């Protein structure tokens, strides 16, 4: 406050020369800017010191950044002075700047100690790693705003920064290993599921349509979906035929209603395809019971299904 009075006295002296020298006028403008920033700085510093006295050491980051910006702005303004005011401002302001720097760095250091303890004691997992990294980045950016030379000592800041950075590196390496193990686990589960699918339900029958050909013999179109990640090139299916009353309809020149059909169709991964078969029976066939029992993959592997894939079609349902 005493120095503010000195500033005003100096300003009054300079005003005598304002009309005679443009440089003096510029100095007064710079001087006014310095006083304005200085007042803002003292107001903010006083506010933060009250928080510290009340036991709230960990004041918000934006307050610290605002103090930093004001401090740098104040120093930049004083460096703009190149004539009469330069020596006067340096003489009056430098003790204040040194005092402000010291207060700022002590307060900042206390806050950073508190922040570093929070970071070092934080339990980090895959779920909060991004939040953790963000808090470390905020922490290190504050330290990088500290000047190389200050009353606290740059080495103390480096120790804080190194401890937090070491923690961050350790946690990120740990999380990366956890992610790799999780990915390996997922891939293994997918491989097991894929193998199980190929052995148990490589195909799904989605629909069956039936119509008589030109001589009245029923033709069935079996719509299927390949559930696997490999191309299926052949399918064996058992097809039983019945009339509308559920009586067995034997195949031509056979005493059985059971027929075995082999389909040679390329059924591509996760795509729908169709299997067409002419039923060697008569036009009275109304119901067919289809069971897929075996498939052959493009790589030559033949899989006999543990449980047949079945679908029962009744032409009366089409009406």
Q: Tens of pLDDT along 58-114?
A: 545 566 666 666 666 666 665 554 444 455 555 555 565 565 556 666 777 777 788
Question: Which neighbouring-strand residues pair with 267?
Answer: 232
Distance (Å, whole) CA 22 – CA 17:
9
Count of structural domains, the chain? 2
In this structure, are 138 and 6 located in the same domain?
yes
> Is the pLDDT confidence value at 152 over 90?
no
In this structure, are 39 and 78 located in the same domain?
yes
In this structure, are 54 and 143 located in the same domain?
yes
> Is the pLDDT confidence value at 11 over 90?
no
Distance (Å, whole) CA 230 – CA 197:
11
In this structure, are 214 and 160 located in the same domain?
no
pLDDT of residue 6: 57
In which domain, by residue range, is 229 found? 202-318
Q: In what order do the strands lie in the sheet with 302-314?
A: 258-263, 232-242, 287-297, 302-314
> Is the pLDDT confidence value at 16 over 50?
no
In this structure, are 46 and 141 located in the same domain?
yes
In this structure, are 76 and 9 located in the same domain?
yes
pLDDT of residue 249: 87
Residue 179 lies in a domain: no
Residue 195 lies in a domain: no
The CATH number given to whatever domain includes residue 257 is 2.60.40.3230
> Which long-range contacts does 76-81 make (Cβ < 8 Å, 24+ apart)?
77/30, 77/33, 77/34, 77/37, 78/34, 80/30, 81/27, 81/30, 81/31
pLDDT digits (tens, 9 = 90+) for 213-222: 888 788 999 9
pLDDT digits (tens, 9 = 90+) for 171-220: 999 999 999 999 999 999 888 887 787 778 899 999 999 888 888 788 99
In this structure, are 110 and 30 located in the same domain?
yes
User: Within a 10 A sphere around the Cβ of 168, how many other Cβ atoms?
Assistant: 20
Whether the Cβ atoms of residue 80 and residue 28 lie closer than 8 Å to each other: no
pLDDT of residue 44: 73
Higher-confidence position of 191 and 144? 191
- The residue assigned the tokens 């950044």 is 65
Average pLDDT on 22-37 reads 64
In this structure, are 149 and 105 located in the same domain?
yes
Q: What share of the chain is helix, strand, coil (3-state, %, to 5)?
A: 55, 20, 25
How are beta strands 302-314 and 287-297 bridged, if at all? antiparallel
In this structure, are 165 and 30 located in the same domain?
yes
User: Within a 10 A sphere around the Cβ of 175, how many other Cβ atoms?
Assistant: 19
Residue 36: which pLDDT band, with cuts at 50, 70 and 90?
A: confident
């Amino acid at each position: 406050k005493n120095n503010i009075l000195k500033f005003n006295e100096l300003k009054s002296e300079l005003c005598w020369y304002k009309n005679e020298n443009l440089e003096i006028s510029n100095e007064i403008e710079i001087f006014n800017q310095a006083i304005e920033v200085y007042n803002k700085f003292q107001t903010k510093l006083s506010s933060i010191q009250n928080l510290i006295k009340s036991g709230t050491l960990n004041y918000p980051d934006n307050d610290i950044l605002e103090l930093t910006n004001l401090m740098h702005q104040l120093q930049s303004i004083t460096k703009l002075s190149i004539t009469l005011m330069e020596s006067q401002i340096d003489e009056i302001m430098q003790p204040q700047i040194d005092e402000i720097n010291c207060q700022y760095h002590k307060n900042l250091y206390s806050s950073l100690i508190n922040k570093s303890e929070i970071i070092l004691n934080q339990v980090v997992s895959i779920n909060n790693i991004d939040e953790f990294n963000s808090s470390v980045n905020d922490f290190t950016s504050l330290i990088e705003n500290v000047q190389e030379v200050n009353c606290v000592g740059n080495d103390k800041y480096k120790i804080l920064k190194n401890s937090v950075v070491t923690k961050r590196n350790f946690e990120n390496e740990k999380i990366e290993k956890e992610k790799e193990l999780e990915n390996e686990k997922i891939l293994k589960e997918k491989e097991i599921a894929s193998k199980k699918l190929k052995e148990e339900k490589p195909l799904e029958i989605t629909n069956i349509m039936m119509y008589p050909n030109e001589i009245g013999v029923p033709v069935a179109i079996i719509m299927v979906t390949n559930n696997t990640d490999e191309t299926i090139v052949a399918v064996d299916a058992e097809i039983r035929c019945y009339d509308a009353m559920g009586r067995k309809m034997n195949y031509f020149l056979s005493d059985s209603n059971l027929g075995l059909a082999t389909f040679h169709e390329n059924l591509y991964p996760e795509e729908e395809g169709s299997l067409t078969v002419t039923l060697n029976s008569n036009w009275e066939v109304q119901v067919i019971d289809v069971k897929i029992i075996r498939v052959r993959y493009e790589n030559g592997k033949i899989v006999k299904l543990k449980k047949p894939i079945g679908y029962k079609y009744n032409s009366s349902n089409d009406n």
